[in-house]
Structure 1
Amino acid sequence: MSLSSVFHIAGSGMSAQSTRLNTISSNIANAETVSSSIDQTYRARHPVFATMFQENLNGAQGQASLFADQDQAGAGVQVMGIIEDQSELQPRYEPNHPSANADGYVFYPNVNVVEEMADMISASRAFQTNVEMMNTAKQMMQRVLSLGQ
């Protein structure tokens, strides 16, 4: 693995954490939206990541190999998709709510704001770690170039 591949790996990590932060912010923004139907209620979304291996970068650009050789070094991270959380929604009996159904229930999303905030802190720290890794690699390359002076 060359020092220059560090930038690609850190960049893919930053992109993945950015996607994670976007889904978290979408979840928090919709945490208090209501609906009278289970089918129309917002469901929490979560990104799915997979490791990209060097063979995926050189050959087929398709799905990341999840069962690659254990000796092979990773070449970054890939966002495989964003899935909806299928856990139960929160029905609340609020017969005076304008969105209440015939039985007087409204359905709130399955978003736990405390959990989302903890995920947000984790994602922002992971993003910052990737930034620091890129800065360290840049400093190392600058020092290598200054050796010849």
Structure 2
Amino acid sequence: MSLSNVFGIAGSAMNAQTIRLNTTASNMANAESISSSVDETYRARKPVFSVQQVDPLADNEFGVAAGKGVQVLGIVESQAELRKEYSPEHPMADEQGFIYYPNVNVVEEMADMISASRSFQINTEILNTAKQMLQQTISLGQ
């Protein structure tokens, strides 16, 4: 793998973490939204990542195919149970007197946000290090 591949790999990782931060922000923004039915209630969303494979036949010296970055396969909705609360006086209550809250765990979302932010920072450092290494390589020829 050449040093120039680092930019594409780190860039794809930063893009993936940006999507992760956006879905986390959406989940946090909707954490306390109320609905009168299960079908209309917001459900937590999570991005699904995968390795972008190079040629699987082109193994490196360790006998493992190297990846060329991260790809986002999609965003899936959580199938966890919704929070159901009995509140017959609430204007959005259904016929049985229940209101429904999303299945967003705010503590889990905060941990996810910190993890995504930290991963983004690490990839920024990788880009800076690769840039410095290339600059030093260029200055060797002078």
Q: Please give the TM-score of this superposition, normalised by the length of structure 1.
A: 0.89
Q: Secondary structure at the match of 1:125?
A: helix
Q: Compute the displacement of 1:55 (Å).
A: 2.5
Compute the RMSD of aligned alpha carbons: 1.0
Q: Following TM superposition, where does structure 1 have runs of at least 4 consecutive aligned residues deviating by more than 6 angstroms?
A: none
1:94 aligns with 2:93: no
Separation of aligned partners in 2, 1:81 and 1:39: 21
The unaligned stretches of length 5 or more in structure 2 are 57-62
Separation of aligned partners in 2, 1:31 and 1:9: 33
Aligned to 2:59: none
Separation of aligned partners in 1, 2:88 and 2:129: 58
Q: Compute the displacement of 1:15 (Å).
A: 0.2
1:83 aligns with 2:76: yes
Structure 2: which amino acid aligns with 1:35? S
Separation of aligned partners in 1, 2:39 and 2:91: 18
Structure 2: which amino acid aligns with 1:20? R
1:45-84, aligned counterparts within 5 Å?
45-55=45-55, 71-84=64-77
Separation of aligned partners in 1, 2:126 and 2:87: 51
Separation of aligned partners in 1, 2:53 and 2:126: 19
Q: Secondary structure at the match of 1:55?
A: coil
1:113 equivalent among 101, 106, 122: 106
Structure 2: which amino acid aligns with 1:87? A
Q: What is the aligned residue count?
A: 136
2:134 equivalent among 122, 141, 145: 141
Q: Please give the TM-score of this superposition, normalised by the length of structure 2.
A: 0.94
Q: Compute the displacement of 1:95 (Å).
A: 1.1
Q: Compute the displacement of 1:96 (Å).
A: 1.3
